[in-house]
Chain A
Amino acid sequence: MRNRLKVLRAERDWSQADLADKLEVSRQSVNAIETGKYDPSLPLAFKIAAIFGLPIEQIFSADDVAQAAE
């Protein structure tokens, strides 16, 4: 799964630790999600969407969907 976490975080000038703080997870977790090495659970994905004030599909997309859009 792809995500725009890094871009969205940068737009808000948040560090990984800041986002981890808001999500109540460890910074390593944010890093693993951001680099696409770990796909968050649905509840965590919803929490991420709520924090950025965006629908989930504007943050996360399936690899094949993202490739088709390119």
Chain B
Amino acid sequence: MRAERSVTMSDHIDHADKLAAARLLRDMLGAGFVYLAAVLGAGLAIKGFAPPQWGAGLLAIVPIAPALLMLSAQLRYMRALDEFQRRVQSEAVLIAAAVIAFATLAYGQLEDMAGFPDISMMWVFPALCIVWSIATLFVRRRYK
């Protein structure tokens, strides 16, 4: 009979996967919070100071810095995974990109042709992240 299994490296690796996912969530939430604060701050500054268009443009792209932090967090997460987990994530990203591409294309046509209300393009990135998370669940199930 096998002895009770001690903690092995694979436990550490599975644990490392969970730690990487937890770190991703923490980094995304942190950067997301800074992003929202930057969006609000830039909006208030533009309204309050009425800068010229180039100044408003500069203020409007300030939130891109924390958004880049989110991208960096996602890349760090991908690099922490083993090759199979990376495959799962890559497929999930591909599915998410396709879903968002077709959804934005379809909604763009609805806006232009059927008079649907305008939706800001700033929602594309959060939507991509949400669809990526959902796609990950489906892709993981396929490999089980």
Contact = CB atoms under 8 A, between A and B. Distances in A.
Interface residues of A, number: 22
Nearest to A18: B8
Contacts of A20: 8-10, 13
The B contact surface, by secondary structure, is helix
Interface in B5-46: 5, 8-11, 13-14, 17
Interface of B: 2, 5, 8-11, 13-14, 17, 82-85, 87, 140, 142-144
Given A18-B10, A26-B84, A27-B10, 19 more contacts: A15-B2, A17-B8, A20-B9, A21-B8, A21-B10, A24-B13, A25-B10, A26-B10, A26-B13, A26-B14, A27-B14, A28-B85, A28-B140, A29-B84, A33-B84, A38-B84, A40-B83, A41-B83, A44-B83
